[in-house]
Structure 1
Amino acid sequence: MSRHSVAREASQLDRRLEALNDARELAEGVLPDAALEEVYQLLERASSRRSLSADHTVVGFFGATGSGKSSLFNAVSGAEIATAAARRPTTSEPLAGVWGADGSEPLLDWLEVGNRHHAEPVAGFADEGTGLILLDLPDFDSTRAANREIVERMVGLVDVLVWVLDPQKYADAAVHNDFLAPLSAHGAVTLVVLNQVDRLPERDVQPVLESLKGILARDGLGKVQVLGASALKGTGVDKVRSAIRGVVVQRQALSQRLAADVSRASGQLREAAGAGEAAGVRPASKTRLTDELATAANVPVVVDAVARSYRIESTRRTGWPVTRWLVRFRPDPLRRLNLRSSSPSQLNRTSLPAAGAPERARTDAAVREFADAASAGAPGPWRAAIRGAAREGREALPDALDQAIAGTDLMASRKSWWWGVFNVVQWLALLTVLGGLGWLGGLAGLGYLQLPVPEVPKVEGWPVPTLLIGGGVVLGIFLALTGKFIGSGAARARAARARKRLRAAVGGVARDFVVEPVEIEVSRLASFNAALKVAGGN
């Protein structure tokens, strides 16, 4: 394999490992710790293995008791490295046959293999300069727990797995269910050898191999290479050597093994998480949430108070001066709610009724409805995470809403330009009435004192003082009624602006306490799925 191709594969593997780590980090707090721990251990193994000799391919021989695994190991090695048969009925610790000593020691230390044998070159298999380590491992069906632990550890560490089966137990559920089926993604670095074929009649060898292939296909290893061999007679040993050498020469085993591990781990994460994307936050859902929170926070009460307060203030400033003072006895709705302030930011709390059970229930229902809509389509664990994020700030939500209302500028102290015009005209009208009354009073006083009374000018037969009184009164009443009409319209307009500002404030609270936490979780799910896709090699 060319150096350029090796570098490209290494770069792709880097990208997949990084994506798998990203997926693991994104899933923290969502998926079970056990699933994430397995991924973390894989990443640690991958990092450690890649920091060691890339010039050596580690091939592990796995098999059950009596499968002839050690004998096949010797036959392939071309030397009696492993003591077999009666002198060594079971393999109790790993044993290594090493070709190419340079750089192998740290790798063997990491594998925790102390029993090492530097083997002689084997023509056509392990020549000078070949970096190869063959491991003879304990029997996977050993009754000793320590032996099985070694096998399970080595299954996760070696670059190439050679499974040695025998004609009597090749269909044993232990090897298929516990080892082969879980490693279905590792077909590219797996070799299955049916050993001891010399014990079968020649006519039965091929049917047994076909039967084994069928079982492997059901394990998900339909494309794995299956060979028949006899370590005792040397049958098929060259084919086993050739298959191993082919893997070593291509120098892909390490990358393929790690790539298969990443595929398996990403598949396990996908299985633990489930498939699917969250619907996400929609504008309609945010509007609905804001509306419900605004109602629960008594925004309609505040809006009504703004309108009533404006109407009272309009009457006080534009009403008939003779009666407008009576308005002072009417309490200001905004002042009662502690919302009339020239500096809203100075307010800490309103005097609105505290949120009771109905308001809290409405708030919780609104938050739950929003979270359900945003999490629709998400797999179970992520749906729970999204809902949890939405509920996280619910205890602080009522207080935050109250403070948001208290800090909203309701423009309660802002004067309308028409108030001044109406006020001036009202006082002129009143002065006109007082002028007419004074005129008539002066005339009456002259008459009472028997003094000459001047002729009163008339207009169309109406004395001017009388016209002044009547005109002033009519103008004052007209202005008062007109002011009420204009004030009602202006009150509605000011209430509408207050409602808009209050909804914006409530929307800000909803964004900070509900929407943004949900959006973060939705985005985390999308990033998790994207990372898993890259990690899976898609």
Structure 2
Amino acid sequence: MTAVTDHTEHAEHADGTEPAGRVDPPGDDADGSGGGAWDDGLIARRVADSGVFDVEDDPYAHEHELHDADAELVARLDALRELVGLSRARVDGAALAEAGHVLDQAAARRRLSHRHTVVAIAGATGSGKSTLFNALAGVPLSETGLRRPTTSAPIACSWTDGAAGLLDRLGIPGRLRRRPLQGQGPQGVDAPLKGLVLVDLPDHDSAAVAHREQVDRILELVDAVIWVVDPEKYADAMLHERYLRPLAGHAEVTFVVLNQVDRLPGEAADLVLDDLRRLLDEDGIALGEHGEPGATVLSLSALTGDGVDELRESLDQFTREQGAAARRIEADIDAAALRLRPVYATGRKSGLSEDAREEFTDRLADAVGAEAAGQAAERAWRRNANKACGTPWLRLWHWCEGRRTPSATLTVRPVPSDEEATARQRVEHAVRIVGERASAGLPGPWGQAVREAATRGAEGLPEALDDLAVSAGSPPPRLPRPGWWPVAVLAQISMTIVQVIGGLWLLGQIIGVLDPNLGVPVLLMLCGIVGGPCVEWSCRMAAKGPARRYGLDAERRLREAAAGCGRARVLDPVAAELLRYREVREQYVKVTG
């Protein structure tokens, strides 16, 4: 342990500030970008790829990319926060817990240093992760040996100052914080692994439960992970099912290292590496090959140093880009959005169609008796027309009938209880149908909210429709009359007068007052007797159209009144819930990017 104590990290304040007296090396800005204008990962990649530097390239291109990526990340976080806020009253809290956890962890990480990249080395017992940790640091910082488990607590090594806040977040005490070999970690701008914070984790398959709990806790907080596997356990089901498969969406911040290839003879290392790539592909992990974003897969031997430099170069480029923290947060958002998909998306069309609205209106109109009210209004209009345009003798007969049975015109038939129950059932059925139609295609919580809104609106709706039927369905005190009505009344009066004149003339001849001449008085009486019913029949035929229009107008008024009542009590609350769901869907689309 002498080497460990010799390279113990210098004391740092809890808030991540440097101890007094420490001076940043020349060229290292306060923001970690470096004093040189060309200290950016994008330019570094161009130089590495081509070996030629183009002076016309934008020296701040990588910083622009970081700014754009950060703006997109902030927009997604804001959308996720808005999504959680809009959903609290509708979605179970357990379903939103992961999204809330992602927001909390993202806020905590973004408050800390963006110049550092926290990378954890994880692996199974005997995979050689501690040996790899020491090889990257250039000095034995983590204990290795045959005793299992060897690593009992996470050990951190920081290549750059100012990482105390990040290590405090990981819960790594000061006694387990190290610094690499001085030759491995200079503070200059072009220093390799500048900004790297490497954490050696306990074995994820350790027999000690506390060790596994530490691994799970820290894996949720780091920016990237190096999974170290050996030729014997690279296909371990526990590794793939518990860690790699659930974290398939975090491929861009994942390294998978096949260690101990020095133990494999000949081409066996390539065969094992190909099989490892196959397993990762089956896990759903995208492999970063041919310039595509994805996991980095390497083979090496931490014991002999073969391939370690290649891993160190990949880590150096990875840390210089300074985008691992943002990519980790984006991957966490993607994972949360994927788990929330059943809550916000079903892949089916949803909403209340115009046909469903019209059907609901028809059912309410049927329950309130709009059609029957229209037919009653039509009959009332025709009776009034017949009464006004009929012969005086017929009206006299109706008047006598009315005098004989006056109670028949004043009795109001009460609504039978079975009819009232049927109307209530029709209203409840209409509300249930419209709730089911509106909630069709919605995820479970939102469909339930729509149905509950429809049910709440149905309370008191039958009584309101009954009052509406009395107020809107009652006929006016004076029915409207068409323009030809006075002409018909005048013609009927003329026919009656002709009939009376002919009768009086004939009576005068009978009693001898007038000269005998039966032709004229008989003709007059016949004209009056035949003309009166003809006028009445003509008026009845002419009244059919206006009576029908009057009945349809009465039916329309009652239907519109019932539709307005149903819209205010049921459709509007349902539409409000659908609008709320549409808003959260828009936020969910923003969250998914």
Q: Please confirm whether the aligned pair reaches a TM-score higher than 0.5, indicating the same fold.
A: yes
**What is the DSSP-based 3-state SS (H/G/I as helix, E as strand, rest coil) of the residue aligned with 1:322?**
helix
- The 1:463/1:476 distance shift into structure 2, 3 A limit, reads closer
Q: What amino acid does structure 2 have at the position aligned with 1:40?
A: G
1:81 matched to which residue of 2?
Answer: 141
Q: What amino acid does structure 1 have at the position aligned with 2:258?
A: L
Task: Give, in whole Å, the separation in 2 of the partners of 1:456 and 1:502.
Answer: 62
Q: What amino acid does structure 1 have at the position aligned with 2:253?
A: V
Moved more, 393-402 or 159-168: 393-402
Matched, 1:281 2:352: yes
1:437-485 deviation digits (Å, cap 9, x = unpaired): 9999x999xx9xxxxx9x7699997579x96x99888777666655555
1:378-434 deviation digits (Å, cap 9, x = unpaired): 566665655555445344432343344344366523432459837974996699599
- The 1:154/1:330 distance shift into structure 2, 3 A limit, reads farther
2:258 matched to which residue of 1?
Answer: 194
Task: Give, in whole Å, the separation in 1 of the partners of 2:344 and 2:535.
Answer: 72
Matched, 1:107 2:169: no
Q: Name the structure, 1 or 2, with higher relative contact order (CA <8 Å, separation 6+).
A: 1
- The 1:427/1:478 distance shift into structure 2, 3 A limit, reads closer
1:296 matched to which residue of 2?
Answer: 367
1:36-76 deviation digits (Å, cap 9, x = unpaired): 22122112222222232222211112222332323322322
CA shift, 1:21, in A, is: 4.0
2:298 matched to which residue of 1?
Answer: 227
Matched, 1:535 2:591: yes
Aligned counterpart in structure 2 of residue 399 of structure 1, from 451, 463, 476: 463
- The 1:521/1:352 distance shift into structure 2, 3 A limit, reads farther
CA shift, 1:529, in A, is: 4.8
Trace 1:137-536 onto structure 2 (pairs within 5 A): 137-201=201-265, 203-223=267-287, 224-271=295-342, 275-314=346-385, 320=392, 322-325=396-399, 326=401, 329=406, 336=412, 358-371=422-435, 373-374=437-438, 386-387=450-451, 389-408=453-472, 412-418=476-482, 421=486, 425=490, 462=520, 484-523=540-579, 526-536=582-592
2:31 matched to which residue of 1?
Answer: none
1:355-396 deviation digits (Å, cap 9, x = unpaired): 656445544554455455555555666656555554453444
Task: Give, in whole Å, the separation in 2 of the partners of 1:255 and 1:517.
Answer: 41
Q: What amino acid does structure 2 have at the position aligned with 1:219?
A: D
Q: What amino acid does structure 2 have at the position aligned with 1:95?
A: I
Aligned length: 513
Q: What amino acid does structure 1 have at the position aligned with 2:171?
A: E
**What is the DSSP-based 3-state SS (H/G/I as helix, E as strand, rest coil) of the residue aligned with 1:85?**
coil
Preserved CA contact (<8 Å) 1:100 1:131: yes
2:106 matched to which residue of 1?
Answer: 46
Q: What amino acid does structure 1 have at the position aligned with 2:396?
A: V
CA shift, 1:497, in A, is: 0.3
**What is the DSSP-based 3-state SS (H/G/I as helix, E as strand, rest coil) of the residue aligned with 2:347?**
coil
Task: Give, in whole Å, the separation in 1 of the partners of 2:210 and 2:440.
Answer: 48
- The 1:7/1:363 distance shift into structure 2, 3 A limit, reads same
Q: What amino acid does structure 1 have at the position aligned with 2:66?
A: V
- The 1:352/1:242 distance shift into structure 2, 3 A limit, reads farther
- The 1:220/1:435 distance shift into structure 2, 3 A limit, reads closer
CA shift, 1:107, in A, is: 3.1
- The 1:496/1:187 distance shift into structure 2, 3 A limit, reads same
Structure 1 spans left out of the alignment, 5+ residues: 339-350, 448-452
Task: Give, in whole Å, the separation in 2 of the partners of 1:205 and 1:396.
Answer: 77
CA shift, 1:174, in A, is: 0.9
2:151 matched to which residue of 1?
Answer: 91
Aligned counterpart in structure 2 of residue 18 of structure 1, from 75, 78, 82: 78
Structure 2 spans left out of the alignment, 5+ residues: 1-41, 43-61, 288-294
Moved more, 356-365 or 275-284: 356-365
CA shift, 1:186, in A, is: 0.9
Q: CA RMSD in A?
A: 4.2
Preserved CA contact (<8 Å) 1:10 1:255: yes
CA shift, 1:296, in A, is: 2.6
CA shift, 1:11, in A, is: 1.5
CA shift, 1:110, in A, is: 3.0
- The 1:4/1:407 distance shift into structure 2, 3 A limit, reads farther
Preserved CA contact (<8 Å) 2:248 2:283: yes
Task: Give, in whole Å, the separation in 2 of the partners of 1:404 and 1:45.
Answer: 57
Task: Give, in whole Å, the separation in 1 of the partners of 2:418 and 2:168.
Answer: 68
CA shift, 1:183, in A, is: 0.8
Preserved CA contact (<8 Å) 1:375 1:386: yes
Moved more, 218-227 or 122-131: 122-131
Q: What amino acid does structure 2 have at the position aligned with 1:204?
A: A
Q: What amino acid does structure 2 have at the position aligned with 1:194?
A: L
- The 1:515/1:90 distance shift into structure 2, 3 A limit, reads farther
CA shift, 1:278, in A, is: 1.8
Task: Give, in whole Å, the separation in 1 of the partners of 2:378 and 2:186.
Answer: 94
Identical residues among aligned pairs (%)? 35
**What is the DSSP-based 3-state SS (H/G/I as helix, E as strand, rest coil) of the residue aligned with 2:114?**
coil
Task: Give, in whole Å, the separation in 2 of the partners of 1:352 and 1:242.
Answer: 90
TM-score scaled by length of structure 1: 0.79
Task: Give, in whole Å, the separation in 2 of the partners of 1:371 and 1:64.
Answer: 54
1:8 matched to which residue of 2?
Answer: 68
Preserved CA contact (<8 Å) 2:136 2:308: yes
- The 1:365/1:463 distance shift into structure 2, 3 A limit, reads closer
Preserved CA contact (<8 Å) 2:495 2:529: yes
TM-score scaled by length of structure 2: 0.72
**What is the DSSP-based 3-state SS (H/G/I as helix, E as strand, rest coil) of the residue aligned with 1:393?**
helix
Moved more, 277-286 or 358-367: 358-367
- The 1:253/1:414 distance shift into structure 2, 3 A limit, reads farther
**What is the DSSP-based 3-state SS (H/G/I as helix, E as strand, rest coil) of the residue aligned with 2:330?**
helix
1:450 matched to which residue of 2?
Answer: none
CA shift, 1:253, in A, is: 0.6
CA shift, 1:78, in A, is: 2.8
CA shift, 1:323, in A, is: 4.1
CA shift, 1:336, in A, is: 3.7
CA shift, 1:144, in A, is: 3.5
**What is the DSSP-based 3-state SS (H/G/I as helix, E as strand, rest coil) of the residue aligned with 1:60?**
strand
Task: Give, in whole Å, the separation in 2 of the partners of 1:88 and 1:279.
Answer: 57
Moved more, 183-192 or 510-519: 510-519
CA shift, 1:171, in A, is: 1.4
CA shift, 1:96, in A, is: 2.4
